[in-house]
Structure 1
Amino acid sequence: MPVPDHGPVAGRTLLRDDVYGRLRDAIIDGTFEPGEQLRDGELAAWLGVSRTPVREALLRLARGGLVVARPGRSTVVSPLDARSLLEARDVVAAMHRLAVHDAVPHLTEEHLDTMRDAARRFAAAVEAGDVEAAVAADDDLHDVAVAVAGNRAAAAVIEQFTPVLRRAERLRFAAPDAQGSLDRHDELIRRCAARDAEGAADVAAGLWSSLCGAAGDALDA
């Protein structure tokens, strides 16, 4: 769809991360559709910023696979294709496995309580059919291990490629079989509490690897 006529009000102090986040979310939620051309001037006017942070955000989105940048020509929203989704899924799964494995020996009871709270919020969101809240709670749960592990390279890779998987996540959390995610969350927390680093890492990786079916559904939707 065209750039919206009425966009968010943004002051001159809008940070580059804010510009990136707004454009990323607009791609993920379908405001900008696959194959749509993105013009930095129009985006800058929509966000109320100069072209510089927009261009930087587009380059960052290109590195994550959400847009295809053609220097000197155009930038378009990346088409949905199974290969890109599955490549991103495998990389993100591997990084979460590493993060959980390294984090488990250092998790405190406070960390575990944070994960349990996120799991409860996720369950409530799924029950209410609130997909956005489910995604947010799922992020909060997985972010605990990523933060505790302290591996900046893994965290950067997760941040870069997770947005590519958002549509598949939304399909999973809206599906009748979302109960499977609830059960896997409980198993992840149980193994973390038991200091089973290998087992917890396997569960974490499995949560992301199982997005394979949702990825195929995303292309058929």
Structure 2
Amino acid sequence: MLDVSPLPKVTRPLLRDEAYDRIRQAIIDGSLAPGTPLRDADLAEELGLSRAPVRQALLRLAGEGLVESKPQSYTRVAAIAGDEVRDAVQLVRALHEFAIRQALPRLGTEQVAAMRTANERFATAVGSGDVAAAIAADDELHDVPVRACGNRAVAATLERYTPLLRRLEYARFSSLPAHRSIRRHTELVDAIEAGDAETAAAVTSTIWSDLEASLETAETLETP
């Protein structure tokens, strides 16, 4: 008897996912600036796709707050600053604080070493001006306690709302405050290694409060 799976293997990404990934990255890294009109026909031509997966991608991005749309009027890249972004950074800060408190008893030598290594990569990336690598290293560092806390709802919520903050991070990690983040990371890992939950939570709060402060700067720049 032949062992035939009822589900064929996926040999390439779904077109709508590829359209989503490429448009999302262009919004996050600033290639598509806030306020840029997003016409599905133009985007489809640039991406070499049909309009259907581009429309689906734009709907998904609108749901995430990266695109704003008014029927029969406009579809455009959303502003960096806004109530939804402020809500997101406050929620993300609270969840990371919660994750640190829950995870700390489970963070041992291996996890501490992983966080220090991630911070070293972060420092190298900041020094060389590689913002994408800095963000990847920053994610790796903060993901350690998120994974260790074992709360899937926390991880899923962070995955949902963190993309809204990416443009702030791109701006922050390409500027002088990024060097302050290196020090904050070191303070965080030192507190974790010492088993000091209160200091670790306080440093985590400060890290995300610093990002919220950059939101206020963005709001000032975007206000006509």
Shorter-chain TM range is: 0.7 to 0.9
1-structure distance, mates of 2:202, 2:63: 28
Greater alpha carbon shift after TM alignment, 103-112 vs 132-141: 103-112
Secondary structure at the counterpart of residue 13 of structure 1: coil
1-structure distance, mates of 2:151, 2:62: 23
Going from structure 1 to structure 2, the CA distance change for 1:147 and 1:44 (only over 3 Å counts) comes to farther
TM norm structure 1: 0.81
2-structure distance, mates of 1:132, 1:98: 26
TM norm structure 2: 0.80
Measured after TM superposition, the shift of residue 73 of structure 1 is 5.8
Q: Paired residue for 1:119?
A: 119
Q: Paired residue for 1:207?
A: 207
> Does the 8 Å contact 2:112/2:193 carry over to 1?
yes
Secondary structure at the counterpart of residue 69 of structure 1: strand
Going from structure 1 to structure 2, the CA distance change for 1:177 and 1:29 (only over 3 Å counts) comes to closer
1:1-221 paired onto structure 2 within 5 Å: 13-15=12-14, 17-70=17-70, 74-219=74-219, 220=221
> Does the 8 Å contact 2:28/2:170 carry over to 1?
no
> Does the 8 Å contact 1:101/1:197 carry over to 2?
yes
Q: Which amino acid aligns with 1:123?
A: A
Greater alpha carbon shift after TM alignment, 66-75 vs 184-193: 66-75
Deviations 1:9-46 (A, max 9, x none): xxx82245443322211111222222223233443443
Going from structure 1 to structure 2, the CA distance change for 1:36 and 1:152 (only over 3 Å counts) comes to same
Q: Which amino acid aligns with 2:36?
A: E
> Does the 8 Å contact 1:14/1:49 carry over to 2?
no
Q: Percent identity?
A: 48
Going from structure 1 to structure 2, the CA distance change for 1:69 and 1:121 (only over 3 Å counts) comes to same
2-structure distance, mates of 1:55, 1:194: 50
Greater alpha carbon shift after TM alignment, 95-104 vs 49-58: 49-58
Measured after TM superposition, the shift of residue 175 of structure 1 is 2.6
Measured after TM superposition, the shift of residue 48 of structure 1 is 4.1
Deviations 1:106-129 (A, max 9, x none): 223222211110101111222223
Q: Which amino acid aligns with 2:110?
A: E
1-structure distance, mates of 2:195, 2:37: 49
Secondary structure at the counterpart of residue 69 of structure 2: strand
- Structure 2: any 5+ residue segments left out of the alignment? 1-10
> Does the 8 Å contact 1:65/1:161 carry over to 2?
no
2-structure distance, mates of 1:99, 1:71: 40
> Does the 8 Å contact 2:125/2:131 carry over to 1?
yes
> Does the 8 Å contact 2:19/2:54 carry over to 1?
yes
Q: Paired residue for 1:7?
A: none
1-structure distance, mates of 2:157, 2:80: 20
- Structure 1: any 5+ residue segments left out of the alignment? 1-11
Q: Which amino acid aligns with 1:134?
A: A
Q: Paired residue for 1:3?
A: none
Going from structure 1 to structure 2, the CA distance change for 1:71 and 1:82 (only over 3 Å counts) comes to closer
Secondary structure at the counterpart of residue 36 of structure 1: coil
Structure whose alpha-carbon radius of gyration is higher? 2
